[in-house]
Amino acid sequence: MPAADEMLELARGRAGDLAAPGLSPRPRRGVAVLACMDTRLDLFAMLGLQRGDAHIIRNAGGLATDDAIRSLSVSQRLLGTTEVVVVMHDGCGLHGASEDRFAQALAADGILPSWRLGAFEDVEATLRHSLVRLRSSRELPAREQIRGFVFNPESGVLREVRSEDEPERPNR
């Protein structure tokens, strides 16, 4: 049985548990999380989230792509979020991948995408670049509370990565 059929059957049997009557589409905690789609990232457990707490936006790498910025803009402008948390991780599939080989493989299939793979060599440098891009994105009206983290799936440790443009925060 295909995985989608199994998922549909499970959802049918749990409709009462899945229903969210009265739950607002506006996140209770006013936060949107941009993260990698990697299966090892359980964002709810990692960040102490419950359903209704945050918008979750996932893509390959957890990169600040045009579409991620579109989703964050909707989150802020239409649904009231004021904070952004970006979560990347060690051991990402894009780390060390080849833009050229990927593009060649697509071209061999007659495909010329309008997007880039987003391969990178340094997860922290890439995260810093995403943070700078988000903080300079005029599509996002709330740019003061944008923070980035790198998760290590082997150890379970989540560490903050700060960019050069980030203002100093008082120690807590």
Structural domains of the chain in order of their starting residue, each with its CATH number: 23-161 (3.40.1050.10)
Ramachandran angles phi, psi of 171, nearest 5°? -65, 145
pLDDT of residue 171: 57
Residues 33/87, Cβ–Cβ less than 8 Å: yes
Task: Annotate 131-143 with b (16+ C-beta within 10 A) or e (fewer).
Answer: bbbbbebeebebe
Report the pLDDT value the prediction gives residue 123, as an integer from 0 to 100.
Answer: 98
pLDDT of residue 80: 98
Nearest CA among 145, 141, 140 for reference residue 166: 145
CA 97 centroid distance within chain: 19
The pLDDT value recorded for residue 166 is: 64
**CA 25: distance to chain centroid?**
18
Q: Which three-class secondary structure string do you get for 29-96?
A: CCEEEEEECCCCCCHHHHHCCCCCCEEEEEEHHHCCCHHHHHHHHHHHHCCCCCEEEEEEECCCCCEC
Per-residue pLDDT of the chain (172 residues; tens, 9 = 90+): 899 999 999 999 999 999 999 999 999 999 999 999 999 999 999 999 999 999 999 999 999 999 999 999 999 999 999 999 999 999 999 999 999 999 999 999 999 999 999 999 999 999 999 999 999 999 999 999 999 999 999 999 999 999 776 666 665 5
What backbone torsions phi and psi does residue 159 show, to the nearest 5 degrees?
Answer: -125, 145
